[in-house]
């Protein structure tokens, strides 16, 4: 098997457990979007044009409240601001790719595609075809998101709300991050970010998440610098 | 504003955010400073922890440290499993099983 194909399949495999958690989210989004008054087509197209779960939920909510378009757009921007951190973090790994590849991978860059990919990149180091891993992870997530949205639109209100399958999402993140927590600055970065996320939980637009990430990054960097 | 216009612009902005630094830092237009390179190393542990921790500790919008918070207990079991096994699939299976069991016990 070629190196590219191997990485692509590795990416899908790493993404698979996350997909279990993403599927119910996509269905709930589809049902909520219809409930908020979006047409079937608008609900479905938002999943492929915006392709960012939490901002889609917020958009549905704001449409329901008849918020002005400009407010919705600004909210989408702020909710998705954390992706800029992912963009920076992946930049060194993707720098030798063509612009077309960079654009494609940027379009697919979500929380769920970023997490397994960056950990894989950091483990594997320099390797020519590793971006195929991100493509595999990103594409399988994209596909699942489109299908689950369609299911949600189709099934509408008849979706069982409490299957707890969404718990697969934090569980997968736990399985990814715990083995990486080896050195003291990394552990301190994770702990301080976790505590900040709790303290700042009530901030709107996921700003608590961004603030927590910054606190963790600064704590980790400072501790590393001290050594 | 028309909902389609909102979706189009929202999509463009989202893409712009994701593409921004992959483009700016990756096209050799800027040299990535050493401190930033170091700092970026801490993005995954910081972000993932900031996503996970509230999922475990906050139930229905409130901080919940009680024994009835099944997600927190199942999460701790998963963390211990991940620490010792370093196995993704096992961690998820044990975590899900723990959650189902705890929910069943607390019914």
Q: Give residue-wise pLDDT tens across range A132-175.
A: 999 999 999 999 999 999 999 998 767 665 667 778 888 988 99
Q: Rounded CA gap, B55 and A194, in Å?
A: 10
Are A59 and A90 members of one domain? Answer: yes
Are A122 and A26 members of one domain? Answer: yes
User: At what angle are helices A53-64 and A40-49 packed, to 10 degrees?
Assistant: 150
Are A29 and A137 members of one domain? Answer: yes
Residue A175 belongs to a domain: no
Q: Which residue of A has its CA nearest to B5?
A: A69
pLDDT at residue A162 in the model:
63
What are the residues whose beta carbons fall under 8 Å from the beta carbon of B16, sequence distance 6 or more? Answer: none
Of A106 and B44, which is predicted with more confidence?
Answer: A106
Cβ of residue B101 closer than 8 Å to a chain A Cβ = no
Residue A169 belongs to a domain: no
> Strand pairing partners for B59?
B62
What kind and span of H or E run contains B62?
strand B62-63
pLDDT at residue B107 in the model:
66
Label the pairing between strands B62-63 and B58-59.
antiparallel
Are A38 and A67 members of one domain? Answer: yes
Chain A contact set for B31 (CB, 8 A): none
pLDDT at residue A185 in the model:
95
Are A102 and A206 members of one domain? Answer: no
Residue A72 belongs to a domain: yes
- In the predicted model, what is the mean pLDDT of residues A110-127? 90
Q: Give the 3-state DSSP-derived string for chain A, with helices as H, strands as E and coil as C.
A: CCHHHHHHHHHHHHHHHHHHHHHHHHHHHHHHHHHCCCCHHHHHHHHHHCCCHHHHHHHHHHHHCCCCHHHHHHHHHHHCCCHHHHHHHHHHHHCCCCHHHHHHHHHCCCHHHHHHHHHHHHHHCCCCCCHHHHHHHHHHHHHHHHHHHHHHHHHHHHCCCCCCHHHHHHHHHHHHHHHHCCCHHHHHHHHHHHHHHHHCCCCCCCHHHHHHHHHHHHHHHHHHHHC
B91–A178 CB contact, under 8 Å: yes
Using left for φ > 0, alpha for ψ between -120 and 50, and beta otherwise, residue B58 falls in beta
Are A77 and A147 members of one domain? Answer: yes
Domains in chain A, number: 2
Q: Which position has the token pair 């590219």?
A: A4
pLDDT category of residue A131 using cuts at 50, 70 and 90: very high
Of A103 and A35, which is predicted with more confidence?
Answer: A103
Chain-wide mean pLDDT for chain A?
Answer: 90
Are A54 and A137 members of one domain? Answer: yes
Could you tell me if B19 and A102 are in contact, meaning their C-beta atoms sit under 8 angstroms apart? yes
Cβ of residue B58 closer than 8 Å to a chain A Cβ = yes
**Of B41, B54, B96, which has the smallest distance from its Cβ to A171's Cβ?**
B96
pLDDT at residue B35 in the model:
87
Determine the 3-state secondary structure of B7 from DSSP: helix
Are A155 and A104 members of one domain? Answer: yes
Residue A176 belongs to a domain: no
Chain B contact set for A42 (CB, 8 A): 3-4, 7
**Of B4, B53, B82, which has the smallest distance from its Cβ to A197's Cβ?**
B53
Are A143 and A187 members of one domain? Answer: no
B45–A189 CB contact, under 8 Å: yes
If you count DSSP H runs as helices and E runs as strands, how many of each does chain B have, helices first? 5, 2
Last residue of a domain, one of A162, A194, A215: A162
Residue A115 belongs to a domain: yes
- In the predicted model, what is the mean pLDDT of residues A43-58? 93
Q: Which residue of B has its CA nearest to A197?
A: B50
**Of B14, B25, B88, which has the smallest distance from its Cβ to A176's Cβ?**
B88
Could you tell me if B48 and A217 are in contact, meaning their C-beta atoms sit under 8 angstroms apart? no
Which range of residues forms the domain containing residue A196?
181-227
**What's the pTM value of the predicted model, to 2 decimals?**
0.84
Residue A9 belongs to a domain: yes
pLDDT category of residue B27 using cuts at 50, 70 and 90: confident
A216–B50 CB contact, under 8 Å: yes
B17–A83 CB contact, under 8 Å: yes
- In the predicted model, what is the mean pLDDT of residues B39-53? 91
Are A203 and A138 members of one domain? Answer: no
Share of chain A above pLDDT 70, in %: 96
The domain spans of chain B are: 1-33, 42-107
Report ipTM (2 d.p.). 0.88
Residue A35 belongs to a domain: yes
- In the predicted model, what is the mean pLDDT of residues B17-34? 85
Are A78 and A156 members of one domain? Answer: yes
pLDDT category of residue A1 using cuts at 50, 70 and 90: low
- In the predicted model, what is the mean pLDDT of residues B50-73? 91
Which has the closest alpha carbon to A33: A162, A164, A141, A156?
Answer: A156
Are A83 and A145 members of one domain? Answer: yes
């Amino acid at each position: 098997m070629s190196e590219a194909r191997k990485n692509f399949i590795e990416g899908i495999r790493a993404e698979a457990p996350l997909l279990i958690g993403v599927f119910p989210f996509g269905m709930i989004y589809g049902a909520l979007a219809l409930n908020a008054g979006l047409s079937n087509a608008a609900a479905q197209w938002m999943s492929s044009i915006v392709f960012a779960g939490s901002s889609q939920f917020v958009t549905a909510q704001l449409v329901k409240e008849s918020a002005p378009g400009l407010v919705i757009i600004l909210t989408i921007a702020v909710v998705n601001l954390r992706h800029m951190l992912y963009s920076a973090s992946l930049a060194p790994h993707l720098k030798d790719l063509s612009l077309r590849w960079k654009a494609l991978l940027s379009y697919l860059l979500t929380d769920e595609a970023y997490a397994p990919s960056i950990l894989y990149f950091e483990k594997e180091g320099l390797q020519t075809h590793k971006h195929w891993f991100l493509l595999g992870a990103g594409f399988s997530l994209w596909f699942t998101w489109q299908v689950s949205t369609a299911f949600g639109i189709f099934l509408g209100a008849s979706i069982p709300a409490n299957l707890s399958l969404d718990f697969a999402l934090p569980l997968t993140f736990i399985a990814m991050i715990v083995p990486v927590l080896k050195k003291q600055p990394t552990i301190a970065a994770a702990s301080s970010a976790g505590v900040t996320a709790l303290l700042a939980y009530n901030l709107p637009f996921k700003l608590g998440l961004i603030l927590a990430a910054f606190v963790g990054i600064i704590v980790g960097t400072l501790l590393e610098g001290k050594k | 504003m028309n909902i389609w216009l909102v979706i189009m612009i929202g999509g463009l902005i989202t893409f712009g955010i994701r593409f921004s630094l992959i483009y700016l830092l990756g096209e050799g237009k800027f040299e990535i400073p050493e401190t930033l390179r170091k700092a970026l190393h801490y993005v995954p542990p910081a972000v993932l922890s900031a996503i996970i921790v509230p999922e475990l500790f906050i139930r229905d919008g409130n901080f919940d440290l009680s024994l009835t918070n099944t997600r927190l207990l199942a999460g701790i079991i998963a963390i211990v499993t991940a620490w010792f096994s370093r196995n993704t699939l096992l961690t998820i299976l044990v975590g899900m099983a723990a959650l189902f069991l705890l929910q069943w016990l607390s019914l």
